[in-house]
Chains A and B, each alone.
Chain A
């Protein structure tokens, strides 16, 4: 009976995931998957064998309270770190599960289960602390820039080799309690060390990868407990995370190894480089920007992480609606790696009620820039950097970017002339077609909207 319920749950997970990959069915898909989870959990509790109920009831109560409250309260802009954190808890749970299993059985388990124990410990531990570091970086508790030190790769390699050695020992001579505890600590340290060298702009890859890890940790825990529903669901998540990771890497034209080990964006670029780029910044006022939009028949808005930081998504939508109201065609160009997690910009614009059929992917819109009157870049940087196409020495050379400079005018909203998160200079900012409007993106947008409305009001009054 329990196995049948597990089988049903597995089927519901697969169906749910498939429905999650189409907009029309996504919400129902999530519910289908929830039902699967309820079945799996219910079956486990009903199957008997539970002796002590207190840790279970207390844990479910605590977890429901923490998970529920945080999920309801989190702001959409803080979603990347929230998702990372939930993910980390999944990895942490896998680490704890196999630790209890080894302790309880003293290692008297089938060989396959024994092999899976250290694997689950390492992957689960890396998922847990890796996610905590990703959370801390995104929440700006710690600096988002890559943290690099001499011999970092060697240290990681040595620690990984030690962890593998300990794993072998645990498998050969279980339970090896003392060394197993060391292995747990090593796994947690490895998680920290593997995420600190990764810069904020690469977070979409990291979060997708950690997502995959949490699935793998669950699947290996399934091998430890010979539990098929764990193995199936864990592998599903592992595979889906890998697909997303791959999509993110391709969108940056970089290999996963490059993302994980290169310490991308660590080079600090100063103001001097901006002048070295050989151009002058054209600064525009609110009125200048409003005048451009006033005359634009077609507008493309390119949002980036800066939009999230400034909480500017609602103001962006308001401007977009105003322009549509006055007959302009307004579209949003969304780069796969814009923001800090896969799909970050889509979520924020959805929150601001932008219909998703106004959002366009890189390939869908990139040929339309020459026919576009005005491009509005809100807090995006690398994804509009022409150096990706023209400068072989640029660290982002080869990354597919929006051809915004082909439009008639480009308006860039930016807090200051400081280089972006990735620390790379951007020729777009000194491009002759570009008008920079400095200041908080949200405030700037609201002022532009007010200026446009005043202009229209004046026209209406005289006309």
Chain B
């Protein structure tokens, strides 16, 4: 009933979800915003899909929708990474303090 290809894809999906939970289960509150905007930039990965579909020869409608999809995805990625870097650049530890977990 389920093709092998789909089963394989489901494996990848499920495992990736678990990796996602594991990787960021302990984030200090100070990093909540950058983590959000940084992962938000990663969700711009849908640009890869946009690049694939926009590249097809499929007439004007495909071209217009493809163009929009590429634009949206690029905004997400470029904006997301840049604001994340802007924020992370600002985080500084105090000069004289002993080390304390953030």
Once A17-B42, A59-B70, A211-B40 are accepted as A-B contacts, the answer to whether A67 and B100 lie under 8 Å apart by CB is no
A84 to chain B, nearest CB (A): 9
Q: Which of A16, A208, A228, A350 has the largest number of chain B CB atoms within 10 A?
A: A350
Q: Check: A158 CB closer than 8 A to any chain B CB.
A: no
Quick check: A60 and B6 within 8 Å, CB to CB? Answer: no
Interface size of A by Cβ–Cβ distance < 8 Å? 114
Complex Cα gap A100–B56 (Å): 10
Which one of A28-36, A161-169, A258-266, A289-297 is at the B interface? A28-36
B34 to chain A, nearest CB (A): 6
Task: Tell me the residues in window 72-97 of chain A with beta carbons closer than 8 Å to chain B beta carbons.
Answer: 72, 74, 76, 79, 82-83, 86-87, 89-90, 92-94, 96-97
Complex Cα gap A70–B81 (Å): 12
Quick check: A103 and B62 within 8 Å, CB to CB? Answer: yes
Interface size of B by Cβ–Cβ distance < 8 Å? 86
Quick check: B42 and A33 within 8 Å, CB to CB? Answer: yes
Quick check: A55 and B30 within 8 Å, CB to CB? Answer: no
Quick check: A33 and B48 within 8 Å, CB to CB? Answer: no
* B68 in complex: contacting residue of A26, A96, A104, CB < 8 Å: A96
Quick check: B85 and A30 within 8 Å, CB to CB? Answer: yes
Write out, one digit per residue, whether chain B residues 29-45 have a CB within 8 A of any chain A CB (1) or not (0). 11111111111111111
Q: Which residues of B sit under 8 angstroms from A87, Cβ to Cβ?
A: 40, 43, 76
Closest to A228 in B: B12
Closest to A338 in B: B29
Task: Tell me the residues in window 43-77 of chain B with beta carbons closer than 8 Å to chain A beta carbons.
Answer: 43-58, 61-77
Q: Which residues of A sit under 8 angstroms from B75, Cβ to Cβ?
A: 63, 66-67, 70, 86, 89
Once A63-B71, A96-B68, A233-B43 are accepted as A-B contacts, the answer to whether A357 and B102 lie under 8 Å apart by CB is yes
A210 to chain B, nearest CB (A): 9
Q: Check: A160 CB closer than 8 A to any chain B CB.
A: no
Closest to B57 in A: A51
Closest to A97 in B: B49
* B43 in complex: contacting residue of A74, A79, A214, A247, CB < 8 Å: A214
Quick check: A93 and B13 within 8 Å, CB to CB? Answer: no
Q: Which residues of A sit under 8 angstroms from B38, Cβ to Cβ?
A: 16-17, 20, 29-30, 33
Q: Which residues of A sit under 8 angstroms from B42, Cβ to Cβ?
A: 13, 16-17, 33, 36-37, 215, 233, 236-237
Q: Which residues of A does B touch, CB under 8 Å? A: 13-14, 16-18, 20-23, 26-27, 29-31, 33-34, 36-37, 40-41, 44-45, 49-56, 58-60, 62-64, 66-68, 70-72, 74, 76, 79, 82-83, 86-87, 89-90, 92-94, 96-97, 99-101, 103-104, 110-112, 207-208, 211, 214-215, 217-219, 221-244, 247, 334, 336, 341-344, 346-347, 350-351, 353, 355-359, 361
Give 12 new A-B contacts, CB below 8 A, not counting A63-B71, A221-B49. Answer: A17-B38, A26-B34, A44-B52, A52-B57, A64-B74, A90-B40, A225-B52, A240-B36, A243-B25, A343-B33, A347-B33, A355-B92
